[in-house]
Structure formats: C-alpha cells, structure tokens
Copies of this chain bind each other. A is one copy, B any other.
Amino acid sequence: MLGWFYGGTKSTNVRVSLPAVCFVWQIAMIVLFGVFIRYNEEADTHWQEFRRENNISSDIENDFYFRYPSFQDVHVMIFVGFGFLMTFLKRYSFGAVGFNFLVAAFGIQWALLMQGWFHTLDPATGKILIGVENLINADFCVAGCLIAYGALLGKVSPVQLLVLTLFGVTLFAVEEYIILDLLHARDAGGSMVIHAFGGYYGLAISWVLYRPNLNLSKRLNGSVYHSDVFAMIGTLFLWMFWPSFNSAITDHGDGQHRAAINTYLALASSVLTAVGISSVTQKKGKLDMVHIQNATLAGGVAMGTAAEFMITPYGSLIVGFCCGMISTFGYVFVTPLLEKYLKLQDTCGVHNLHAVPGMLGGFIGAIVAASATEEVYSREGLINTFDFEGDFADRTVGTQGGFQAAACCVAIAFGIVGGGCIPIWGDPADDNCYDDEAYWEALITVTLLDRNFYCHR
C-alpha cells in the first residue's frame, strides 16, 4: 500500500501522492491548530492589560522588538540560504529551491505543534501559546530537515521529502526536549540539536537509500558556471545571517549581543582557512568552488552551542580556524571515502558542513561550559547564562559540561537511529537522479539563439 502511496517503484509520477499528501496534511494542520494553537500574551489584544499587570513600561519591550529582526534573518537563511546553496547542480536548481520551499513551508507548521506540545503547552488550558520566539524555533526545527535534504539532493521525490520532514520534525522535537529540558543543556544556535542531528539524520537516510548504479547520472552530478554563482547567493546569505541564527533565541541584552559577535568572528576565521586548504590541496593552487560555498560556513555551525558563552573573541577565531580546515579536508578526502567504503552518497557534503562541525560544536560547548568561572562570568552572569535556576540551581559548571557532552551524543544517536528507521520508499530511478525534469513541467523548444549566447559591451 505504501508502495502505491509513494507512486510505485521507481516511478516519478506523483500526481496522486503529492497532491494527496499536501491536502491531507494541510487540513490536518488546520484542525490541530484549531484545537491547540493560540496567540501568546504578547501577540494578543490583551497585551495592554498584560503590560500594566507586569509593569512593562513601553511597547518596545514586547519580545517582538527583541527578536523580530533576527527572526527575519533566520527566515532568509532557511528559504534563500538553504534553497540557493543547493542550486549548484546543473540541472536541479528548480528541485533545490522549489522542494526546499515546500518542505520548509510544511515543516514550520508541524514544528509549531510538536515543539509547542513539548515546550509551551499551557497546562491550565491545554493550548499552545505562540509568539515570535516560536516562529524562530519552528524555522530552526525545519533547518534540521533541510540539512538532511542536502545529503539526498537529486535522489528523492518531493513526497519522500515531505515524509522525511514529518518524521524529522517529530524526532527533532523529542530530541530537543531531552536535550534542553531533561538534560538542561544549552544549545541556542543548535550545533547539536540542529546540525549534528540533521546531518546524521540525512546521512543515515542516504545510507538506507544507497544506489549502487548512481554513476548512470554521474554526468549530471556537477555544476555549471552560473549555477555555482546562484549557489553563492545561498552561501552568502547563510554566512551573513549566521550571527542572527546563533543569537536569535539567546537571552535579551548581553546574551544576544555576545552570541552575534562570537559567530561573526568564527565565520570570518573559517573563510581564511577554507581558502587556504582549498588552494593547497588543488593543483596550481586553484580554489574549488565547493569548498568556498560550504566550508566557509563551518565556523557558524561549530559556534551554535558556545556562541552565547564567554568563549572570548580569540576563542571564536580558533573555533572557526579549526572547523574551516576540518570541513575543507572533509570535502577533499572524506566524502570520496564515505561513498567508497560506507556506501554514503552525500550530494552536498552535509557530513563535512553539518554533521562533523555540529558534533564538534557540541563538544566545544561542553568544554567552554565546564571551564566557566564565577570570576569571568560573575555569579549572576553564570546563573543567567546557564539557567542555573529551579531544579538546576545547584548544578556546577563541571556537571553542566558533562550534560552538554551527553546532549551531543543524544543528538547524534537520534539522527542515526531515526534516519535509519523511517519508512521512506518511492525514490526515482537511478537515471532520473540529479535531473529535476522528472518533477517539473517539461521543456519544449530548443532556442540556440537565446540572448545569453550573445555578449555585449
């Protein structure tokens, strides 16, 4: 039955399954939102009363003004950043940017529900109250699934992507609950919960869907000049807005401020080492566009956990330095080995950009947390930064470091096990890979005299 649902073995006809999934799931979302989701007190017309009751002096202290600019930057990263980063394939740009759009638009709705049930369910009313922070978290949650898509780019159908997202968001919410609530780990920029999880989730699915004869599509698994320029749009918007990503949900005031500075520095450092390694590993010192598009971002991934801590500016540079190198080495040496020995076909190299830097970021966070001192943070700063309140008031930074490390392992385990177990069939035939013509309206005429053949000036 599921075979039929997915459109039959190796068929690319999704005329039944794709509309069915879109409509059924969207209707389900409407029903569930109707039952569960309401505005929180900062987005509700009762805000003026809430202000008076809580002695808030001005409208500007509505959380909207603290977080909305960062939210919009994150939103750009999800839709333009991830979408365009994947347009590099010569014949899969529609699939990259279009399916990314579809997956993200569905995923954010499901994420609002899943994350709401785990984190912001009001026990009195049974309602999930949402505000701008929930929108950011939903975008974050979807990021995990889009990372997984990176490993599978060109090899899966849109229906499979929607299934991947349904399960991915669900796993994400559970994993996030364990990490943030049960283990009380900090992970504001999601090195662990987003990148390590998403990366390993995608790799595990890619391993399940291994295609021994993928070389049938090999000539299409590459870029052309202008598709690489399109991909740079994605890279740059990711790179520029990563400070917003890592600071979007950190504490008001110094928390957001510091996270942005740290991420900015780590990213700058990544660029130089990615360029250096790219040049030294190629003949005649030429640069490889793949490295520039991807490894330059590794510093941002690796700062996801530690950005809000007092890692110091030079600490951030060191993180970027190492991760830019490691990520580029991954593209040069590890990706070919993964395919050869582990049967891992990783189209975008998410192993090198998300899985490994995310894992490293988790452990960096653990080390930085464990080495925090009252001298550097101040007593109050330590409590604010690590939320040593309530049940966790007596936790020491050493213990916190241990829980951070444990959290990282949880994220990886969820990614690998979850990705290995989800029911995902219906992938296109090997010779339809890396060519989005299977899913997008056919091209009709050949015009050899199109203007792009002319040049001027």
**CB within 8 Å for A79 and B317 given contacts A275-B18, A440-B289, A453-B448:** no
Which residues from B are CB-within-8-Å of A102?
271-272, 275
**Partner-contacting stretch, out of A144-152, A226-234, A355-363:** A226-234
| A455 interface contact, C-beta 8 A | yes
Known: A253-B48, A254-B62, A261-B135. A19 touches B280 (CB 8 A): yes
Interface mask (A37-77 → B, CB under 8 Å = 1, otherwise 0): 11100111111110100000111111111101110110110
Stretch at the interface among A262-270, A387-395, A408-416, A425-433: A262-270
Interface-located stretch among A21-29, A172-180, A397-405:
A21-29
**Interface flag for A131 (CB, 8 Å):** yes
A91 and B442 in contact (CB under 8 A), knowing A75-B240, A229-B230? no
Protomer copies: 3
Contacts of A344 in B (CB 8 A): none
Encode A274-300 as 1/0 by CB contact (under 8 A) with B.
011101101111111110100010000
A256 in contact with B109 (CB, 8 Å):
no
Let me know if A33 is at the binding interface, CB within 8 A.
yes
Asked if A444 CB lies within 8 Å of chain B CBs, one says yes
CA distance A283 to B222 in the complex (A): 28
Q: Is A239 an interface residue (CB 8 A)?
A: yes
Q: A60-B65, A257-B62, A455-B443 are in contact. Are A385 and B276 (CB under 8 A)?
A: no
Chain A interface residue count, Cβ-Cβ cutoff 8 angstroms: 158
| Chain B contacts for A378, CB-based, 8 A | 45-46, 49
**Contact: B109 with A268, CB < 8 Å?**
yes
Q: Shortest beta-carbon distance, A92 to chain B, in Å? A: 10
Say how far A99's CB is from chain B's closest CB, in angstroms: 9
The 8 Å CB contact of A455, one of B25, B61, B224, is B224
Distance to closest chain B CB from A310 (angstroms): 6
Asked whether, in the complex, the Cβ of B260 is within 8 Å of the Cβ of A64, the reply is: yes
Is A321 in contact with B45, judged by CB distance below 8 angstroms?
no
The answer to whether B267 and A105 touch across the interface, beta carbons within 8 angstroms, is yes
Q: Is the CB of A446 within 8 A of B441?
A: no
Q: Is A108 located at the chain interface by the 8 A CB criterion? A: yes
Is there contact, CB below 8 Å, between A377 and B60? Answer: no
Given the complex of chains A and B, what is the CA–CA distance between A185 and B140 in angstroms? 37
With both chains docked as a complex, state the minimum distance between the C-beta of A181 and any C-beta of chain B, in angstroms: 23
Interface string of A245-263 (1 = CB under 8 A from B): 0000000111011101100
Asked if A237 CB lies within 8 Å of chain B CBs, one says yes
Interface presence of A90 (CB below 8 A): yes
A439 within 8 A of B: yes
Q: How far is the CB of A83 from chain B (nearest CB, A)?
A: 7
Instruction: Given A19-B279, A22-B273, A441-B289, check contact A222 B72 (CB 8 Å).
Output: no
CA distance A290 to B87 in the complex (A): 18
A167 in the interface, Cβ–Cβ < 8 Å?
no
Interchain CB contact under 8 A, A108 and B268 = yes
**Given A26-B272, A286-B440, A287-B441, list of 11 further CB < 8 A pairs?**
A58-B61, A90-B455, A97-B236, A105-B271, A158-B275, A222-B455, A224-B447, A224-B450, A224-B456, A225-B456, A445-B456
CA gap between A314 and B128 in the complex, in Å = 12
5 cross-chain CB contacts under 8 A:
A43-B254, A49-B380, A101-B296, A105-B271, A233-B233
Interface pair A226/B272, CB less than 8 Å apart: no
Distance A445 CA – B457 CA, assembled complex (angstroms): 9
Assess whether A244 is interfacial by the CB under 8 Å rule. yes
- Give the chain B neighbours of A22 by CB distance below 8 A: 272-273, 275-276, 279
A15 to B276, CA, bound (A): 9
Please name the 9 residue pairs, one residue from A and one from B, whose CB atoms are nearest each other, closest first: A45-B381, A15-B285, A222-B457, A22-B276, A47-B254, A105-B271, A59-B253, A443-B454, A33-B314
Asked whether B241 lies within 8 Å of A72 as measured between CB atoms, the reply is yes
